[in-house]
Amino acid sequence: MMDTALVSVVVPTFNRAYCIENTINSALSQTYDHLELIVIDDGSSDGTEELILSKYGADPRVRYVFQPNGGVSNARNHGIRLARGGFIALLDSDDLWEPWKLELQVAVMNHLPHVGMVWTDMVAINPNGEISSPAYLRTMYGAYQWFPEPEDIFKNYLGIASVAPQLASRFPNKLVYFDDIFSPMLMGNLVHTSTVLLRRNRVERVRGFREDLRYAGEDYDFHLRTCREGMVAFINLSSIAYQRGRGDQLTEKYGLHIAANFLNTVQPILKKDLGRITLPPKMIDNMLAAAHRCLGEELIAAGKNDEAFRHFMASIYRRPLQPRTLGFAALSLLPQSLRERLRQFYRILKARGSDDDLTHVPLYP
């Protein structure tokens, strides 16, 4: 039976015995202590099971579940199916929560009953635990370049004092923003997964993470569909410490998959929900031009020149005056014998950049 006040924290993990203990401790140390923690071990072989059972086997709040490796989306969906709470929080196994995170987010949910998801900013830390950025969300997610201020995304806001009076003295000038932001989310991801709290009924409508997006892009697809289902909220302060620079982070490895899956996510929705979208057509064209260019550059780096050419031309169709993209489209037509030289030239051009105002438009991490 569902406990409407319980927060179910889903932690997918794969071979992170070296850091997951700190992650779990940050969840179990929450000032909102009515929670369960579900660790889905996605096929680890590094002693994760032994660690969890020895450290937390006697803690009734912690459930450990092992499964054959199926990818992070499969692991999250498994955890969501096992969840007993009316709220669901997602926590990656190398991130750390501030102690007040859930207390504040549950207060927002209780104050704003139509909100189905609330997320926050985040601190970025390096593998040594040193802070590299106190507010990293807008740096990590390039889609924020379309929206310089929260007011460019949200029409409504409240002070934390009116939502969570017990935390007002700690965050006297911080705001909670809320609105239907389905249209702005089409410009790219605005949400970091380890910062979110969701209502269970919103997750059930969204039907979890797409498991076919195995290598990258599943987070954006999930958050976009979540925003499509109704109102969401953003708290303009950092509630987690996000680990950067570790070699096992997927966003460091799968640029081609990220770029392809972005287009695979937005293009069907643009066709299906065109009547709901309130963005100016030129803004959408600029986004699609940037997306096709990004994918073209990833493809040309991988030596897939024919596919790259098609995406460069799609970008130019959306926005004709792109000298860099035109140059890459021409270069992609070179014969096979020159492709390695082309890839070397690409790396030089990418390092130098250009004056094209779409050159440095990352839509995803």
Could you read off the pLDDT of 219-251 as tens digits, one per residue? 999 999 999 999 999 999 999 999 987 665 555
Predicted pLDDT of residue 213: 84
The whole-angstrom separation of Cα 5 and Cα 9 is 13
Environment class of 346 (CB within 10 Å of its CB; exposed 0-12, middle 13-18, buried 19+): middle
* Distances from the Cα of 279 to the Cα of 23, 147, 184, angstroms: 39, 12, 7
What are the pLDDT digits (tens) for 140-188?
999 999 999 999 999 999 999 999 999 999 999 999 999 999 999 999 9
Which domains are assigned to the chain?
A: 3-248 (3.90.550.10), 255-352 (no CATH)
Tokens of 155: 């029409």
Predicted pLDDT of residue 365: 44
pTM of the full structure: 0.90
Backbone angles phi, psi at 320, to 5 degrees: -65, -40
* Opening angle at CA 190, ends 132 and 155, nearest 5: 115
> One-letter amino acid identity for 134?
P
Q: Is 207 left (phi over 0), alpha (psi -120 to 50) or beta?
A: left
Angle between helices 305-318 and 323-331 (to 10 degrees): 150
- In the chain (365 residues long), the average pLDDT of successive 10-residue segments reads 94 97 98 98 97 97 97 97 98 97 98 98 91 95 94 97 95 96 97 98 96 86 97 98 73 79 94 94 95 93 90 95 86 71 64 50 47
Closest CA to 120 of 142, 146, 98: 98
* DSSP string over 8-39: EEEEEESS-TTTHHHHHHHHHT-SS--EEEEE
Predicted pLDDT of residue 356: 52
> One-letter amino acid identity for 132?
S
Angle between helices 281-301 and 255-272 (to 10 degrees): 150
Of all helices (H) and strands (E), which one includes residue 65? strand 62-66
Predicted pLDDT of residue 360: 41
> One-letter amino acid identity for 360?
H
Coil, strand or helix: which one is 362? coil
> One-letter amino acid identity for 207?
R
